[in-house]
Amino acid sequence: MRSDEFRGEELICSTFSNTSKTSIPINHHEYDVIRKCFNEKYCYHILLFSLSEDPTMALAGVRVIELAGLAPVPFCGMILADFGAKVIRVDRTKVAMAMDTQARGKRSVALNLKSPEGVAVLKKLCVQSDVILEPFRKGVMEKMGLGPEELLKENPRLIYARLTGYGQSGAYAKAAGHDINYLAMSGLLSMLGRSNEKPYAPLNLVADFAGGGLTCAFGVVLALLERTKSGRGQVIDSSMVEGAAYVGSFMWKSRKIGLWNNSRGENLLDSGAPFYDTYRTSDGRYVAVGAIEPQFYTQLVHGLGLDAASLPSQMSFDDWPKLRQVFTNQFASKTQEEWARVFDGTDACVTPVLSMDEVISHPHNQERASFHRDAQGEVTPNPAPVLSQTPGSPCLARDPIIGEHTRPVLEEFGFKPAEVDQLLSAGVIECNAAKARL
Ligand SMILES: C[C@H](CCC[C@@H](C)[C@H]1CC[C@H]2[C@@H]3[C@H](O)C[C@@H]4C[C@H](O)CC[C@]4(C)[C@H]3C[C@H](O)[C@]12C)C(=O)SCCNC(=O)CCNC(=O)[C@H](O)C(C)(C)COP(=O)(O)OP(=O)(O)OC[C@H]1O[C@@H](n2cnc3c(N)ncnc32)[C@H](O)[C@@H]1OP(=O)(O)O
């Protein structure tokens, strides 16, 4: 008979044959079941219960309720799913198509939270879960009776992540907005753009994803780790203004070394320096040049076939426009492929600007399997970073349709089939079967 010691957040298992201890992370629901079983000394059987998750995934056993949102929260949910969490996305009912293009690995429950029965269903899901991710502006969850007060009272171990543009306080807290607004409020947008041009937002990368979904996922993991010590959940106030600014800390911290003394687009790293920019090649494609250090810059000049003695000094700011013109003319003389043959294998810091589809076939990315094709055959990035013991693994199945898993999820969380039928007939939930692919 296995001897098992149950300690708070994890199950330490040892067997007679060996004393190696395996600790298995468990979620709130398992915690309660296990504690009850230990009290009644049924310790062995519960191990099977907690081994139901794939222990090779870092977030195995973590249950996440993701309320359907636009882009940042779906990205956060996808990250957690990629690393083993069980993510249930709660969609609105009467919605034709999911807005979530980052839905891999998630299951969808369609639930009308405008009904008290719907609120009760969500509460029951949250009591048995570890994390809730909410994408709404300040006050919406409280209005539905689903604020942190209510949910943490019923499940003190719940991690309540609130991902918003402006945070849960402050004059803008209830204002609508999108990535570009948050980036503007972070101060970083003022630094983005070429010389004599207006500021531009680099896609919706910085606030929505870097400072939003990714930073929020980091907060969730921090809270999960902290809970293994305190046994308590907490509220994560994830503001995209603050997340973006935090991601950009280097920009603030490097002002004192004069990195940003010039106007926008005229500094070392903001397209001002000719050795840190992109250049068009003879076939209309581009290369990226990042030869900052003198030893790398020397290799750039050599690869371009230029005579260093005939050029102005690398750091002669006033000569940068002239140097840029020289580089522009040189790079325009060969194709992207030809320049790759010149610079691959050197430290000149010159790389091809690859398209979203080319990335998967570039030899370096292929060797590392950095990208894969999903169920729709589309190129998509693999989870990062790569952990040696518990790497992330993207679900390759198609994305869920809205309400596809309502019934199995509710029954998994303890609803009887008759209760699910009743909720369905009352319009509180939707159970949509996946349409057969012809
Ligand atoms: C730059 C990005 C924006 C990217 C957008 C793209 C992802 C999408 C742009 C175009 C889309 C595609 C296009 O539309 C074509 C297709 C259409 C198809 O239908 C879907 C597929 C498409 C291909 C579609 C796909 C994509 O959606 C697009 C490509 C960003 O910056 S995103 C970041 C936005 N900001 C935040 O997230 C910060 C926090 N959130 C907010 O500030 C607000 O939520 C926001 C975003 C301003 C929206 O405000 P809104 O007034 O609309 O909502 P809230 O005030 O938050 O209140 C939510 C209300 O909803 C109720 N509710 C929620 N869940 C339920 C439920 N289950 N049942 C019932 N009711 C529910 C909740 O009670 C609130 O109701 P009230 O308003 O009455 O309180």
Q: Are 214 and 79 in contact (CB under 8 A)?
A: yes
The rounded percent of the chain whose pLDDT value lies above 70 is 87
> For ligand 1, atom 15, which residue shows the shortest CA distance?
99
Check residue 2 and give its pLDDT: 39
Which tops the pLDDT comparison, 28 or 97? 97
Question: Catalytic residues, which ones?
Answer: 178, 208
- CA-nearest of 213, 26, 25, 209 to 133 is 213
Residues 315-340, mean pLDDT to the nearest whole number: 97
| pLDDT greater than 80 at residue 40 | no
Q: Which atom of ligand 1 is nearest to the CA of 98?
A: 20
Check residue 196 and give its pLDDT: 97
| pLDDT greater than 80 at residue 131 | yes
At 134, the pLDDT band (50, 70, 90 cuts) reads very high
At 433, the pLDDT band (50, 70, 90 cuts) reads confident
Question: How far, in Å, CA of 112 to CA of 32, rounded?
Answer: 28
| pLDDT one-digit tens code per residue, 349-402 | 999 999 999 999 999 999 999 999 988 888 999 999 999 999 999 999 999 999
> For ligand 1, atom 24, which residue shows the shortest CA distance?
99
Q: What DSSP element (H or E) covers 277?
A: strand 276-280
Check residue 402 and give its pLDDT: 96
Cβ-Cβ contacts under 8 Å for 32 (sequence gap 6 or more): none
| pLDDT greater than 60 at residue 161 | yes
Cα 79 to ligand 1 centre (Å): 20
ipTM of the complex: 0.94
Q: Which atom of ligand 1 is nearest to the CA of 110?
A: 67
Cα 101 to ligand 1 centre (Å): 13
Check residue 36 and give its pLDDT: 54
| pLDDT greater than 70 at residue 39 | no
By three-state DSSP, how is residue 380 classified?
strand
Q: Ligand 1: residues whose CB is within 6 Å? A: 67, 69-72, 90, 92, 97, 99, 101, 111-114, 135-137, 140, 143-144, 164-165, 176-179, 204, 208
Check residue 24 and give its pLDDT: 45
Q: Are 240 and 176 in contact (CB under 8 A)?
A: no
Residues 148-155, mean pLDDT to the nearest whole number: 98
Check residue 436 and give its pLDDT: 58
Cβ-Cβ contacts under 8 Å for 83 (sequence gap 6 or more): 57, 58, 59, 383, 390, 392
Q: Are 124 and 415 in contact (CB under 8 A)?
A: yes
Question: How far, in Å, CA of 273 to CA of 317, rounded?
Answer: 8
Q: Which atom of ligand 1 is nearest to the CA of 139?
A: 79
Which tops the pLDDT comparison, 434 or 39? 434
Please, what is the Cα angle at 420 between 419 and 425, to 5 degrees? 100
Cα 68 to ligand 1 centre (Å): 8
Q: Which atom of ligand 1 is nearest to the CA of 90?
A: 67
The rounded percent of the chain whose pLDDT value lies above 90 is 84
Check residue 9 and give its pLDDT: 42
User: Cis link prior to 25 (omega < 30° from 0)?
Assistant: no
Residues 132-149, mean pLDDT to the nearest whole number: 98
Cα 379 to ligand 1 centre (Å): 26
Best probe residue, ligand 1, of 95, 137, 204 (max atoms within 8 Å of C-beta) = 137
Q: Are 169 and 143 in contact (CB under 8 A)?
A: no
Best probe residue, ligand 1, of 88, 109, 140, 141 (max atoms within 8 Å of C-beta) = 140
Check residue 56 and give its pLDDT: 82
Question: How far, in Å, CA of 225 to CA of 47, rounded?
Answer: 22
Phi, psi angle pair for 255, to nearest 5°:
-65, -35
| pLDDT one-digit tens code per residue, 389-431 | 999 999 999 999 999 999 999 999 999 999 999 999 999 999 9
| pLDDT greater than 80 at residue 28 | no
Cα 217 to ligand 1 centre (Å): 19
Q: Are 188 and 240 in contact (CB under 8 A)?
A: no
Best probe residue, ligand 1, of 101, 136, 214 (max atoms within 8 Å of C-beta) = 136
> For ligand 1, atom 29, which residue shows the shortest CA distance?
99
Q: Which atom of ligand 1 is nearest to the CA of 140?
A: 79
Query: 45 exposed, middle or buried (CB, 10 Å; 0-12, 13-18, 19+)?
Result: exposed
| pLDDT greater than 80 at residue 253 | yes
- CA-nearest of 369, 371, 372, 376 to 397 is 376
- What is the four-CA torsion angle of 139, 145, 147, 150, rounded to 10 degrees? 160
| pLDDT greater than 50 at residue 42 | no
- pTM confidence score: 0.89
Q: Are 169 and 136 in contact (CB under 8 A)?
A: no
Show the DSSP H helices in 248-405 as ranges. 249-253, 294-303, 320-331, 336-343, 363-368
Best probe residue, ligand 1, of 65, 67, 70 (max atoms within 8 Å of C-beta) = 70
| pLDDT one-digit tens code per residue, 191-244 | 999 999 999 999 999 999 999 999 999 999 999 999 999 999 999 999 999 999
Cα 69 to ligand 1 centre (Å): 5
Check residue 19 and give its pLDDT: 38
Cα 93 to ligand 1 centre (Å): 14
How many other β-carbons are positioned within 10 Å of the β-carbon of residue 280? Answer: 14
- CA-nearest of 250, 118, 115 to 187 is 250
Q: Are 67 and 133 in contact (CB under 8 A)?
A: yes
| pLDDT one-digit tens code per residue, 263-296 | 999 999 999 999 999 999 999 999 999 999 999 9
- CA-nearest of 262, 266, 287 to 197 is 266
> For ligand 1, atom 33, which residue shows the shortest CA distance?
178
Q: Are 238 and 244 in contact (CB under 8 A)?
A: no
